[in-house]
Structure 1
């Protein structure tokens, strides 16, 4: 996100005030931009990013904000993965929505704490496997962006050291 967007949300608490222009964009392009933002981090930890075939689907979105939100999920997957790990990205189309799954085999989290990850300044924010710091607002802002796009985001883990899966659901553009 751009700094002004973050400051606006944190100061007002009103994520609806973010200015955005929505247009139909190919999800493959959005995902490509998101991955490009994280290539250096992945290379530093020798994390392999595996992308399963991406359908040519368009979503109505603000491309800048949506690619930044997805990039944040990829960044977290890298941050909480060990060296030589893997981040897997899959897309599925179901019932008029595109589902983006981003999975890692990193440190995971206790299953009952998934919702806490999306709170502003959550105490659940952790240090990454290489000492990377967490701001405590990344997933909060990511959820707000996804919701402003008519979507949903959820997190799943089978427990500590069992990885995590983040699922983003977005409506397909008409």
Structure 2
């Protein structure tokens, strides 16, 4: 409620500022035209040398330019203020979400520890409690690592291990590992198409991309999850289409989902957890690989397709490829020296 009032105040101030400059502009035009008519009527009678020439228009034009400039500056300030308010709102939502994401496993771990301390728990239950605590601890570690890695990625400090891979075997291996990691039924993920080409990629970074896409598909699927992956290569581009059978993405939301901290809220799935960083992270990794990502959805409950395009190794610019591979070598040297 307080945020809505704050936004309302800024809108009112903007409207009043526009009314003020329009009033000022009207008074300026009225004053100029009035003086012009008076001078034109009386000037020749007093002295012919006081005739009105074009140079007298300069103050009027300068005044108009200043007033219009003031209006444009006011509009620019309001636009940037509005953007900042939206960013603040997204940041506040992120803080709330991340607090919940951190608090939930911590509370669970604390509860298990207090139970072990205050009660005589059988050995079988102790092992079960420890397994749950390890699971919650891993969840915390993944969350913290993701935030740190996104920060490092933005500051160009994240160590990548770029190598040249055969595209199709690499992707198939990643999806087999994902199915095992997420404990998916055997027929959940199907892979179609051929990709007889090479790419320069960081295998771990690609895994992060598809882990996030699969995690989103699991969160936003009401029925049994089905994932279809289509691979395709031409002379320049390696294309991956990652499609699910989830609830879909409204058209107005598609341009926003890759923004930092942005999350889609659905009333039919109100308890979906997340930080709003996953797809932003995906987009940044794809960009670092010299590629691009887009999203399409035919409508509500008709699924979503993410299309990732990466440059083929043979068609990539030598300067860009050498930069990636050199970065990987330098990261290895730094790691060895640290050891």
Check the 8 A contact 2:262/2:277 in 1, yes or no. Answer: yes
TM-score (normalised: structure 2)? 0.45
Q: 1:27 aligns with which of 134, 147, 167?
A: 167
Q: 1:167 aligns with which of 301, 307, 322?
A: 307
The equivalent of 2:150 in structure 1 is 9
Shift of 1:108: 0.5
Q: RMSD of the alignment, in Å?
A: 3.0
Change (3 A) 1:59 1:107: same
Rounded to whole Å, the distance in 1 between the matches of 2:302 and 2:206 is 27
Change (3 A) 1:148 1:3: farther
1:158 aligned counterpart, secondary structure = coil
Gaps in structure 2 of 5+ consecutive residues: 1-141, 315-339
Rounded to whole Å, the distance in 1 between the matches of 2:143 and 2:236 is 30
Can you list the C-alpha shifts for 1:101-143, whole angstroms capped at 9, x where unaligned?
Answer: 0111210111121121111110326699695522211100010
1:37 aligned counterpart, secondary structure = helix
Equivalent residue runs for 1:144-155 within 5 Å:
144-155=284-295
TM-score (normalised: structure 1)? 0.82
Structure with greater helix share of residues? 2
The equivalent of 2:298 in structure 1 is 158
Rounded to whole Å, the distance in 2 between the matches of 1:95 and 1:146 is 19
Which of the pair has the greater relative contact order for Cα pairs under 8 Å at 6+ separation? 1
The equivalent of 1:107 in structure 2 is 247
How many pairs align?
A: 172
Gaps in structure 1 of 5+ consecutive residues: none
Q: Which has more radius of gyration?
A: 2
Shift of 1:25: 1.2
Rounded to whole Å, the distance in 2 between the matches of 1:138 and 1:47 is 25
